[in-house]
Amino acid sequence: MEEKIVVRIFPDGRIQAETKGIKGEKCTNYMKVLEEILSARTLESTYTEEFYETEQVKIRQTEQDYLKTTL
Amino acid sequence: MSVSLTMIPVALALRVVMGKERFNNWIESMELPKKTNFKSQRDLISTVKQSGYDAEKWGSMIKTHIRGEKEFFFWEVRDGSWQAIFSKYDSRQMIENFMQTLEQRANRRIFIDTEENLHDEIIAKKVFPTNFYNMDLLKQVLQDNDMYAIQDKNDQIICDLGNAQLLFQQSHPESLITVELVQTADMEAVFRHLSLLDEDYKHYIQDRAYQDMKEKAEEKGLTIENEQILEDNSIVLTLSIQR
C-alpha cells in the first residue's frame, strides 16, 4: 500500500492529520516532521489497530532473531 | 491508516471562545441596575408607554425595547423597588439617553441617584485573554482590518477604535497576548471587533499553515498529490511519501 499523509487545515487554525499505509514507529517520525513543517504542536494522537499489529510483528521478528542468535 | 493526529499551530491558542452567543452569556452576568421611584407596576407600565416605549410583561418582569427591536432591557422588582436592569457593557450614552428621554417625556424625576450608580460612571478598565501568541501577525491583522494601531517602545500594540482603546500586551514571547480595554464606551462594539480579529487571525494561521506545507513539504521528502477545499473552508492536502 502506498504511504500517504492526509492533512486537513481547519478555518479556525486546527490541523488534523492521518497517516495511511505507514507501518509501525515510522508514523511517530512523521508526527515530528509535520510539527516542524507546520510550526505546530500535537495535542492528541490516536494509534489505530494497524499500528499495534505492525508493532507486534516487529516484536515477534525481534524474538525470532534473538532465538536464532542464542540457539 | 496508522495514526491520527490533532495539532495546533504554536501561534494560536483555542482558549477563548468568541462569538455572539458567548457575548450574550457573558453579558447576563454583568448587570447594571438603576433604581427608580415607580410606585407600582401599573405606574411603571403607563409611564413607560406614555413616553413612547413598550412595556411587555415577562413573568414578574417588564421588557422594554430601546433603539427599535435591536436592544432591550428588563424592569424588575429588587429590594422592594422597581429597577431598570441594564448591562454594564451597554453603551453608557444609550443608557443616559434613555433615562433622560423617559424623564423628560414623563415630566418627572424617575431614576434615583445612588452612590452605586455614580460609581458605575467610572470607566471600567479590564484585561481579557485572547487566542493570539504572535504580535507581528496580530499587527498585520489589525492593519488589514483598517484598525489604527501603533506599537510602542514596550512592544505593546495600542489600537484606537474611536469610542474605545485596546491595549494588546505580551509579557513574554511565549505567553498569551492579553487585551486591556481602556476608555470603553460600548462593550458590545468592542466585543464585535475582538471577535472579528479572532476570526481573521485564525484565517491567517490557516493560510500560513497551507503556505508552510507548500514550501517545506518537498525538503522533508513529501509531495503534495492533491489539494481540496471543503464546504467548511477546510483545506485538505494529500501528501505522498517520496522513496
Q: State residue A41's pLDDT score.
A: 83
- Please indicate whether, in this complex, the C-beta atoms of A34 and B5 are within 8 angstroms of each other: yes
The residue of chain B nearest to residue A42, with distances taken between CA atoms, is B7
Phi, psi of B242 (to 5 degrees): -70, 140
Per the CB < 8 A criterion, the answer to whether B168 and B178 are in contact is: yes
Chain A residues whose CB is inside 8 A of the B241 CB are: 3-5, 22, 30
Q: State residue B225's pLDDT score.
A: 94
Q: State residue A45's pLDDT score.
A: 81
pTM, two decimal places? 0.60
- DSSP state, B132? B
Query: Is the pLDDT higher at B143 or at B27?
Result: B143
Supply the mean pLDDT for chain A: 74
- Please indicate whether, in this complex, the C-beta atoms of B220 and A36 are within 8 angstroms of each other: yes
Comparing C-alpha atoms, which of B74, B53, B52 is closest to residue B63? B74
Q: What confidence category does residue A27 fall into, taking pLDDT thresholds of 50, 70 and 90?
A: confident
Count CB atoms within 10 A of the CB of residue B24.
11
Joined together, the cell numbers standing for residue B51 give 413616553
Amino acid at B163: N
Q: What percent of chain B has pLDDT over 70?
A: 81
Element (H, E) at A32: helix A26-38
Q: What confidence category does residue A60 fall into, taking pLDDT thresholds of 50, 70 and 90?
A: very low
Chain B residues whose CB is inside 8 A of the A28 CB are: 3
The residue of chain A nearest to residue B226, with distances taken between CA atoms, is A6
- DSSP state, B218? G
Under 8 Å CB pairs connecting chains A and B tally to 152
Q: What confidence category does residue B29 fall into, taking pLDDT thresholds of 50, 70 and 90?
A: very low
Per the CB < 8 A criterion, the answer to whether B180 and B169 are in contact is: yes
For chain B, give the longest Cα–Cα distance: 86
Phi, psi of B211 (to 5 degrees): -65, -40
Joined together, the cell numbers standing for residue B74 give 428588563
Q: State residue B106's pLDDT score.
A: 93
* Cα distances (angstroms) measured from residue B226 to each of A8, A39, B230: 12, 21, 13
Supply the mean pLDDT for chain B: 81
pLDDT tens digits along B52-99: 999 988 777 788 988 776 678 889 887 778 989 887 667 778 888 899
Query: Is the pLDDT higher at B118 or at B84?
Result: B84
Q: Give the mean model confidence (pLDDT) for residues B164-192.
A: 79
Q: State residue B53's pLDDT score.
A: 92
A 51-70 residues inside an 8 A Cβ radius of B: 51, 54
Comparing C-alpha atoms, which of B112, B115, B50, B109 is closest to residue B81? B112
- B120: CB partners within 8 A, 6+ apart: B32, B88
* Cα distances (angstroms) measured from residue B242 to each of B17, B110, B157, B175: 40, 78, 44, 37
Q: Which among A7, A45, A54 has CB closest to B213? A: A7
Asked if the model's pLDDT at residue B201 lies above 80, the reply is yes
Chain A residues whose CB is inside 8 A of the B236 CB are: 6-9
Q: Give the mean model confidence (pLDDT) for residues B39-59.
A: 90
- Please indicate whether, in this complex, the C-beta atoms of B213 and A17 are within 8 angstroms of each other: no
How far apart CA B182 and CA B164 sit, in angstroms, is 6
Complex ipTM over 0.90: no
For chain A, give the longest Cα–Cα distance: 59
A49 Cβ under 8 Å from any chain B Cβ = no
Q: State residue B107's pLDDT score.
A: 93
Query: Is the pLDDT higher at B111 or at B26?
Result: B111
Phi, psi of B166 (to 5 degrees): -110, 135
- Please indicate whether, in this complex, the C-beta atoms of A10 and B206 are within 8 angstroms of each other: yes
Phi, psi of A56 (to 5 degrees): -65, -40
Q: State residue B124's pLDDT score.
A: 47
Buried b / exposed e across A31-62, counting CB within 10 Å, b at 16+? bebbbebbbbeeeeeeeeebbeebeeeeeeee
Comparing C-alpha atoms, which of B39, B86, B89 is closest to residue B63? B86
CA A32 to centroid of chain Cα atoms: 10
Q: State residue A6's pLDDT score.
A: 93
Mind telling me how many Å the CA of B204 is from chain A's nearest CA? 8
- Please indicate whether, in this complex, the C-beta atoms of B2 and A46 are within 8 angstroms of each other: no
Chain A residues whose CB is inside 8 A of the B203 CB are: 11
